[in-house]
Structure 1
């Protein structure tokens, strides 16, 4: 029989009580779906394909006499009184029940059921015979935070659709419910906009990529590109929604826009024909402040809105240098006409125009905390990446915040100070560092803490040129983030590590090329490719300097 020794759930549940004995799934088992649970039932059957069991989905009302012999059933029902995303799972006396507060809760109950079985259930097809046994158990669980997110950068290195759908599956396993797709930047434009086809025809690829970190890093000489068609986006959004995940688009402006300017030079301040940028970092080229440029992005966002049903739409707003505006006579003329006295106000004006447009379409703004340099819509959500300063400033103004400080949530940062870490970037951010992260910083008042929607891990992909490299940077640190965002604030690192070691067997079955706890495997290293390692204090000083240079905060 295939069964774990003890339940080893990750994230840690609110309540778990072991009973006596066990429950067995075998060739006679079936899934019984009450009205409204059918989509969750079919998804559960798909997710249990690794058992090799057929597990027919039948209406909950099917009489037991329809079966020649008794067999275990997995019964799904809904009970809104449990609350959003909550679930109860009971396994006793050859019966399994999953009760969800909503469809998402049913899905999370299904994920808990998978974890109660042996890791082999995570394979796409059975490699061993059944039956499959799980312990007799009662679980009642619900998330601590409503926003449990991951930001994935598909600009610096494009992630093909089939790899992105696989990544969605991995997020679902770990009960994340937000995927912010960073779709546009200096280095590429990754979403089809029918009104402006050159955004992907020209902006969707670059001649090469910077190999390594820092000004001395050279180019690799290899063209890179790709984008998602609108049909691709609809498929990704629907696939994620079936797994309880909302996909949130991010279209950067008014900085990080050279790919758009490469496609439509009239968007830039100088009007010059620029290439799609091949370097990493903060770029001096920004959008001009013409009304026509604002209208261009209104039109872009109208198409984005039709593709993504998320309540919030990301508009970036970060790392926008002002040198071009300061030196440009036309920008200075527009500033005078609009009563703007500083270049910082140009950025705020641009973001306000876009925010107002989104509001007319019934959507709210999601932006990085640099947006706090100007007026911010009262219903905006701020991505607090600059630590307690950015989070505190946003909550002081009564704004909703998603906590994602770089010192705890940036998974492109190196995972140790050892010489075998590939392309070592910035400060060390270990698995243990991520596990100790709390989105609600202790310095916040109760009123401020109530504005924290949750947290998010950010995966910037400058040095992640394939899905297997994303695996290395993301896992197992995303396992720690999953528990931080789902479970309560209690931290028990030894207990977490015990459960993680078992969980890594599930990742093995899923084919995830995670970073082993003992360090990178030989093929996960990148000898000879320069990095830019920093201490924690150096990185903190760097963020402070960057903020000062771009005149925000």
Structure 2
């Protein structure tokens, strides 16, 4: 039997990455087939047997049904990137890869993959499962073109833990072109996420063409300039400086349809977000008559919460009903997100029109007016065959149980909503806001400018979207988790990718794998095997800093502190300094544990230098 170099290399990387766990733990994890194969997200069941199947240069893919042929067409493209030529066929016996629709799992997203001497079979009840099986197959193949691609003999049975496996991208604060949106969707799909939450409107820009209201794209889609620097650090008015450069953009309805169709082909549901009644000053810039007080208004050039919001009058309802009519026609998914968060009532309290509404509707608290507003919008969406979903503030004014809730201010709103019978998406800032920093040092000079906060990989990975406070019946209302990417300080596609990876790998496992089967220690060596795949796709991931440079791993003896470091990136170098300077290719190369004398203060710093030459931010520790 030919030597399987790729598989042996995987095992070597796995064992190397687990050294700090101890030999017994490493051996135990190395015996797990899913660990050896480096699959993410972790499948339910993986069984390996001796042998490999050599995938030839020219491949026939068996596909008959519409879903089978759709997945086969996508697989053609994936294999072409690996130097393979694939042709679709209806001759099952002559195919090296067979896509078959059959009820092998309880949901359309479940699948089975079987690799043996007669080739590769992917079986699923529906197209989504076939697609996810194809993604698993790709992870069994080398990340780059190879003359011989050997696939281990394996049987995989898999299905997701959650129905909603989401990622949100804010295109209002900063705008991203259609081609990058497609790349973003491809990256989500590669790790079996199935929901793209598209944040399309906000104070800083309106991004969707609405035929009935052309000024939304003529006026609201553009701001005159953008704030420079980290707004949250500014203390005085003179700290606020702007770039004096007009900024904006929008998606035509043709482009919206193009993105939605691209997502559908990859079994991703697109959920549009049209913010109301707050975060709406960009609307007022174009249609000031929808405000509670006279304008003029302009599309906002700052971040945060603006007190100028639409007035809940009949013209405003007509506006949103017209907008939602066009939106509903563009997005075939069941949900429309209305935002509903951060809507100050300052203008409503001052408005005679709002006071009239409160008297007429018997509302005694102006905060409850938003609930009345939301219920009217919910009824209108229902008339279009859509379900309303919003941030957890929508609970405060009352909303029908048919509406779903995104719990972002921690889990409290989600717990309350699930107990009241609402479906819930868990997306707390503490675990799912991937615009937050990846460095414990606030506003580190070694990181790009960002909004702040700290959300490391392990905190994401260890999150369980099912709150223990809920009963099993109440937990059934938890649709799943979602990671959110707000873009106040994320200005380019490259920076989106930097914030996204490798954290998206952890998100995918939170969303797909039952919590009881997850292990962060076991996840890290599997994650290490994906950097080569990200490199092959030219993804601008954040190179993880070396592990081990912290007080928890410090071994002190004989007046010295000893450090044992390791990198999560296979083939990387670790370079370090003991004088506080930033390590680079010229500083000390880490080859074995090193000692640092105690009793005097010094700063130890270490960086990972990946095989592609990119560096991590430094890990650092003050020793004294």
SS at match of 2:231: coil
* Separation in structure 2 between the aligned mates of residue 141 and residue 188 of structure 1, nearest angstrom: 41
SS at match of 2:241: coil
Cα shift at 1:393:
1.3
Query: Kindly tell me: are residues 57 and 3 of structure 1, through their superposed partners in 2, closer, same or farther at Cα, counting changes over 3 Å?
Result: farther
1:509 is matched with 536
2:89 is matched with 58
* Separation in structure 1 between the aligned mates of residue 353 and residue 395 of structure 2, nearest angstrom: 26
2:188 is matched with 171
Superposed CA deviations along residues 76-123 of structure 1, whole A, max 9, x for unmatched, are: 101134222011001110410000121000000000010001111xxx
* Separation in structure 2 between the aligned mates of residue 467 and residue 114 of structure 1, nearest angstrom: 24
**Counterpart check, 1:97 vs 2:121:** yes
1:413 is matched with 436
1:423 to 446, 449, 472: 449
* Separation in structure 2 between the aligned mates of residue 24 and residue 85 of structure 1, nearest angstrom: 27
2:498 is matched with 472
Cα shift at 1:520:
9.7
Contact 1:165 1:236 in 2 (8 A): yes
RMSD value over aligned CA atoms? 1.9
* Separation in structure 1 between the aligned mates of residue 479 and residue 262 of structure 2, nearest angstrom: 24
Q: How does 1:305-316 map to 2 (within 5 A)?
A: 305-316=328-339
Cα shift at 1:425:
3.0
**Counterpart check, 1:374 vs 2:397:** yes
1:231 is matched with 254
Contact 1:422 1:524 in 2 (8 A): no
1:347 is matched with 370
2:73 is matched with 42
* Separation in structure 2 between the aligned mates of residue 471 and residue 520 of structure 1, nearest angstrom: 19
Q: How does 1:375-390 map to 2 (within 5 A)?
A: 375-390=398-413
* Separation in structure 2 between the aligned mates of residue 217 and residue 517 of structure 1, nearest angstrom: 33
Contact 1:2 1:118 in 2 (8 A): no
1:213 is matched with 231
SS at match of 2:154: strand
Comparing 168-177 with 42-51, greater Cα deviation is found at: 42-51
Superposed CA deviations along residues 411-445 of structure 1, whole A, max 9, x for unmatched, are: 11111123223225342110111001110022222
Comparing 268-277 with 143-152, greater Cα deviation is found at: 268-277
1:31 to 58, 61, 64: 61
SS at match of 2:319: helix
2:134 to 110, 120, 124: 110
Contact 1:34 1:60 in 2 (8 A): no
Contact 1:60 1:75 in 2 (8 A): no
Cα shift at 1:478:
1.0
Contact 1:3 1:134 in 2 (8 A): no
1:184 is matched with 201
2:211 is matched with 194
Superposed CA deviations along residues 273-295 of structure 1, whole A, max 9, x for unmatched, are: 21100100011011112111111
* Separation in structure 1 between the aligned mates of residue 91 and residue 315 of structure 2, nearest angstrom: 58
Contact 1:422 1:525 in 2 (8 A): no
* Separation in structure 2 between the aligned mates of residue 73 and residue 2 of structure 1, nearest angstrom: 22
* Separation in structure 1 between the aligned mates of residue 542 and residue 286 of structure 2, nearest angstrom: 38
2:51 to 7, 21, 25: 21
Comparing 51-60 with 192-201, greater Cα deviation is found at: 51-60
2:486 is matched with 460
Q: How does 1:294-313 map to 2 (within 5 A)?
A: 294-313=317-336
SS at match of 1:147: coil
* Separation in structure 2 between the aligned mates of residue 494 and residue 139 of structure 1, nearest angstrom: 22
Q: Which one scores higher on RCO, CA 8 angstroms, separation ≥ 6? A: 1
Contact 1:8 1:502 in 2 (8 A): yes
Comparing 109-118 with 443-452, greater Cα deviation is found at: 443-452
Query: Kindly tell me: are residues 244 and 149 of structure 1, through their superposed partners in 2, closer, same or farther at Cα, counting changes over 3 Å?
Result: same
Q: How does 1:386-405 map to 2 (within 5 A)?
A: 386-405=409-428
Contact 1:213 1:423 in 2 (8 A): no
Aligned residues: 511
**Counterpart check, 1:269 vs 2:286:** no
Give unmatched runs, 5+ long, in structure 1. Answer: 65-71, 121-125, 527-553
Comparing 404-413 with 336-345, greater Cα deviation is found at: 336-345
Superposed CA deviations along residues 166-202 of structure 1, whole A, max 9, x for unmatched, are: 1000000010000010000000000000000110110
Query: Kindly tell me: are residues 94 and 154 of structure 1, through their superposed partners in 2, closer, same or farther at Cα, counting changes over 3 Å?
Result: same
Query: Kindly tell me: are residues 30 and 525 of structure 1, through their superposed partners in 2, closer, same or farther at Cα, counting changes over 3 Å?
Result: closer
**Counterpart check, 1:432 vs 2:458:** yes
Cα shift at 1:29:
2.5
Superposed CA deviations along residues 360-386 of structure 1, whole A, max 9, x for unmatched, are: 111110100000012212211100112
SS at match of 1:517: coil
Normalised to the residue count of structure 2, the TM-score between the two structures is 0.79
Moved over 6 A (4+): 519-526
Contact 1:2 1:117 in 2 (8 A): no
SS at match of 1:425: coil
* Separation in structure 1 between the aligned mates of residue 615 and residue 396 of structure 2, nearest angstrom: 40
1:533 is matched with none
* Separation in structure 2 between the aligned mates of residue 265 and residue 2 of structure 1, nearest angstrom: 67
**Counterpart check, 1:493 vs 2:511:** no
Cα shift at 1:248:
0.6
Comparing 379-388 with 517-526, greater Cα deviation is found at: 517-526
Superposed CA deviations along residues 129-164 of structure 1, whole A, max 9, x for unmatched, are: 412111111111100000000111010001110010
Normalised to the residue count of structure 1, the TM-score between the two structures is 0.89
SS at match of 1:16: strand
* Separation in structure 2 between the aligned mates of residue 156 and residue 203 of structure 1, nearest angstrom: 12
Comparing 4-13 with 463-472, greater Cα deviation is found at: 4-13
Query: Kindly tell me: are residues 21 and 520 of structure 1, through their superposed partners in 2, closer, same or farther at Cα, counting changes over 3 Å?
Result: closer
* Separation in structure 1 between the aligned mates of residue 231 and residue 137 of structure 2, nearest angstrom: 43
* Separation in structure 1 between the aligned mates of residue 504 and residue 70 of structure 2, nearest angstrom: 27
